[in-house]
Chain A
Amino acid sequence: MTTATTTATVLEASGVTMRFGGLTAVRSVDLTVNTGEIVGLIGPNGAGKTTFFNCLTGLYVPTEGKVSYKGTVLPPKPHLVTKAGIARTFQNIRLFANMTVLENVLVGRHTRTKEGLWSALLRGPGFRKAEATSRERAMELLEFIGLAHKADHLSRNLPYGEQRKLEIARALASEPGLLLLDEPTAGMNPQETRATEELVFAIRDKGIAVLVIEHDMRFIFNLCDRVAVLVQGEKLIEGTSDVVQGDDRVIAAYLGEPFEGAPEDTALDAVEAAEAQAADADADADTDTAEAPAAEAQTADAHTAEGDTK
Chain B
Amino acid sequence: MTTTTTETTAADTTPRLVPLPHSAARVLIALGAIGTIASTFMSWTWTSDFPGDLTVYGYPAGLQVLALTGGLLTLLLGLTLWDVPGLRWANPARHAAPLALAAASAFAVCWFTGIAIAVDLGGFVNLDPGAYVAMAASLVALLGTLALPTPGGTWRDYLKKAENIPPAADLAPWAQRLAVTAATALALIIFTYGIGIPDEESETFIGFLLLVVLGTWALFAAGLFDRFSALNARHKGFAATLAFLAAAVFPLTQSDDHNANIGVNILIVGTVALGLNVVVGLTGLLDLGYAAFLGVGTYAAALVSGSEFSRFSGVQFPFWAAALTGMAASLIFGVLIGAPTLRLRGDYLAIVTLGFGEIFRITVNSLDGASGPNITNGPNGIARIPDIEIFGLNLGNAHQIGPFTIGRFANYFLLMLVITAIVVLIFNRASDSRIGRSWIAIREDETAATAMGINGFRVKLIAFALGASLAGLAGTVSAHVGYSVNPAPYQFAGSVPPNSAFLLAAVVLGGMGTVNGPILGATLLYLIPEKLTFLQKYQLLAFGIALVLLMRFRPEGIIANRRRQLEFHDNDPLDVPEQRLPDSTVGATKAGA
Query: A-side interface residues toward B, CB under 8 Å?
Result: 57, 59, 78-79, 82-83, 87-88, 90, 94-100, 103, 106-111, 113, 115-117, 119-121, 123, 127, 130-131, 134, 152-154, 156-157, 170-171, 174, 293-294, 297, 300-301, 307-310
| CB contact between B455 and one of A59, A79, A99, A171 (< 8 Å): that residue | A79
CA distance A83 to B452 in the complex (A): 9
CA distance A262 to B560 in the complex (A): 64
> Interface readout for B563-592 with A: 1 if CB under 8 Å, 0 if not?
110110011000101000000000000000
Question: Does B156 have its Cβ within 8 Å of any Cβ on chain A?
Answer: yes
Query: B-side interface residues toward A, CB under 8 Å?
Result: 6, 152, 154, 156-157, 426, 429-430, 432-438, 440-441, 444-445, 447-456, 462, 466, 563-564, 566-567, 570-571, 575, 577
Q: If the complex has contacts A99-B440, A310-B154, are A120 and B433 also in contact, measured as CB distance less than 8 A?
A: yes
Q: How far is the CB of B277 from chain A (nearest CB, A)?
A: 16
B154 contacts A117, C-beta separation under 8 Å = no
| CB contact between A94 and one of B430, B445, B454 (< 8 Å): that residue | B445
Q: How far is the CB of B585 from chain A (nearest CB, A)?
A: 18
Q: How far is the CB of A180 from chain B (nearest CB, A)?
A: 10
Q: A88-B451, A111-B452 are in contact. List 11 more A-B contacts (CB 8 A).
A: A59-B450, A83-B453, A90-B451, A98-B567, A103-B440, A113-B434, A120-B433, A153-B577, A154-B575, A156-B567, A308-B152
Q: How far is the CB of A50 from chain B (nearest CB, A)?
A: 13
CA distance A115 to B436 in the complex (A): 11
CA distance A174 to B438 in the complex (A): 14
Q: How far is the CB of A99 from chain B (nearest CB, A)?
A: 6
CA distance A88 to B426 in the complex (A): 33
List, in ascending order, chain A residues with CB within 8 A of B156's CB: 307-308
Q: How far is the CB of B7 from chain A (nearest CB, A)?
A: 12
Residue of B6, B453, B570 ringed by the most chain A CB atoms within 10 A: B453
Q: How far is the CB of A176 from chain B (nearest CB, A)?
A: 10
| CB contact between A78 and one of B6, B154, B450, B571 (< 8 Å): that residue | B450
A156 contacts B566, C-beta separation under 8 Å = yes
CA distance A42 to B456 in the complex (A): 31
B448 contacts A90, C-beta separation under 8 Å = yes
Q: How far is the CB of B25 from chain A (nearest CB, A)?
A: 21
CA distance A143 to B460 in the complex (A): 32
Q: If the complex has contacts A98-B564, A99-B440, A294-B570, are A107 and B449 also in contact, measured as CB distance less than 8 A?
A: yes
Q: How far is the CB of A67 from chain B (nearest CB, A)?
A: 15
List, in ascending order, chain B residues with CB within 8 A of A88's CB: 451
Q: How far is the CB of A2 from chain B (nearest CB, A)?
A: 28
- Residue on A with the closest CB to B445? A94
CA distance A59 to B453 in the complex (A): 12
| CB contact between A57 and one of B440, B445, B451, B456 (< 8 Å): that residue | B451
CA distance A171 to B448 in the complex (A): 10
List, in ascending order, chain A residues with CB within 8 A of B152's CB: 308-309
| CB contact between B441 and one of A78, A107, A152 (< 8 Å): that residue | A107
- Residue on A with the closest CB to B151? A308
A120 contacts B429, C-beta separation under 8 Å = yes
| CB contact between B444 and one of A98, A108, A130, A294 (< 8 Å): that residue | A98
List, in ascending order, chain A residues with CB within 8 A of B564's CB: 98
B435 contacts A99, C-beta separation under 8 Å = no
List, in ascending order, chain A residues with CB within 8 A of B434's CB: 106, 109-110, 113, 115-116, 120, 130-131, 134
- Residue on A with the closest CB to B565? A98
Q: If the complex has contacts A79-B455, A90-B448, are A297 and B430 also in contact, measured as CB distance less than 8 A?
A: no
B448 contacts A99, C-beta separation under 8 Å = no
| CB contact between B466 and one of A97, A117, A156 (< 8 Å): that residue | A117
CA distance A94 to B456 in the complex (A): 16
List, in ascending order, chain A residues with CB within 8 A of B566's CB: 98, 154, 156-157
Q: How far is the CB of B274 from chain A (nearest CB, A)?
A: 15
A115 contacts B433, C-beta separation under 8 Å = yes
List, in ascending order, chain B residues with CB within 8 A of A97's CB: 444-445, 567
A99 contacts B452, C-beta separation under 8 Å = no
List, in ascending order, chain B residues with CB within 8 A of A134's CB: 434
A99 contacts B433, C-beta separation under 8 Å = no
List, in ascending order, chain A residues with CB within 8 A of B447's CB: 59, 78, 94
Q: How far is the CB of B94 from chain A (nearest CB, A)?
A: 20
Can you list 9 A-B contacts (CB < 8 A)?
Answer: A97-B567, A99-B437, A107-B437, A110-B438, A117-B435, A120-B432, A120-B435, A127-B433, A157-B575
List, in ascending order, chain A residues with CB within 8 A of B466's CB: 117
| CB contact between A117 and one of B437, B452, B462 (< 8 Å): that residue | B462
A174 contacts B452, C-beta separation under 8 Å = yes
CA distance A4 to B444 in the complex (A): 41
A117 contacts B430, C-beta separation under 8 Å = yes
- Residue on B with the closest CB to A173? B452
CA distance A97 to B156 in the complex (A): 31
CA distance A161 to B426 in the complex (A): 38
B433 contacts A107, C-beta separation under 8 Å = no
Listed from nearest, the 7 A-B pairs whose CB atoms lie closest are: A111-B453, A120-B433, A82-B453, A152-B577, A96-B444, A297-B570, A94-B448
List, in ascending order, chain A residues with CB within 8 A of B577's CB: 100, 152-153
List, in ascending order, chain A residues with CB within 8 A of B444's CB: 96-99
CA distance A41 to B432 in the complex (A): 39
CA distance A310 to B426 in the complex (A): 50
